Structure formats: structure tokens, C-alpha cells
Amino acid sequence: QVQLVESGGGLVQPGGSLRLSCKSSGRVFIINDMGWYRQAPGKERELVALVSTDGSADYADSVKGRFTISRDNANTVYLQMNSLKPEDTGGYYCNARTVLKDIVWGNGTLGTVSS
């Protein structure tokens, strides 16, 4: 009922920036919270940032002060990533929670931070 498509990943130098986008389609009006998760090779998927319908945001301690999550009226969610570190490398996955209590995932976009 809801589909998510991420974009904006790529290769960046340490200290650089990336801006990720996640576009929602389908029954977008049933979406509640949206978030970004990260999964590095051999690691479990972890919450990076979460944004509620009122725009309030929460962040993992590891990205506070460097990443910013936001959303627009079309339920496109963004993740601005600054001061990137090699440990930020991984697949970034968009997540949406609906009023039907469904959890929807995108297929991810790869961000690589390397010299």
C-alpha cells in the first residue's frame, strides 16, 4: 500500500557530505513516522534518525550534530549527512510506519565514505 524509494547515495571523502532522499508512493496519507536506518557489512541494521508527523526528530548518538532528517508535505524524507566518517559507510534504508501498524522499507542506497 506504501512504497519507498531511496536515492542520493554515493562515494564521498571523509569530512564530506551526502544528501539522501526517500520518496513515498501509494497510500502516502496513512504514513506516520518515517526514518532512516543504516546497515554496515556484518552489522545489524540500526536507527540513524526518525522524524514524526509534527516534524520532531530524534537521532542516534553517533550522528548527532552531523546529520539532519526532515520531511515535506508529500512525505518525502531527507537525510542531510555532513562531516562524514568512514564508519558512516553502509546501506541506508528508508522506513515508514503507517496507521495500519505496517512497517515499510525501501531497498536502500549505498553511502561509502573513503579516501
What's residue 105's pLDDT?
A: 97
pLDDT recorded at residue 25: 95
Angle at 80 between CA 8 and CA 11, to 5 degrees: 45
pLDDT band at 104 (very low <50, low <70, confident <90, very high): very high
CA distances from 3 to 20, 73, 86 (A): 16, 16, 30
Report how far residue 57's alpha carbon sits from residue 61's, in angstroms, rounded to the nearest whole number.
Answer: 13
Give residue-wise pLDDT tens across range 17-65: 999 999 999 999 999 999 999 999 899 999 999 999 999 999 999 999 9
Rounded to an integer, what distance in angstroms lies between the CA atom of residue 83 and that of residue 105? 26
The answer to whether the beta carbons of residues 2 and 95 sit under 8 Å apart is no
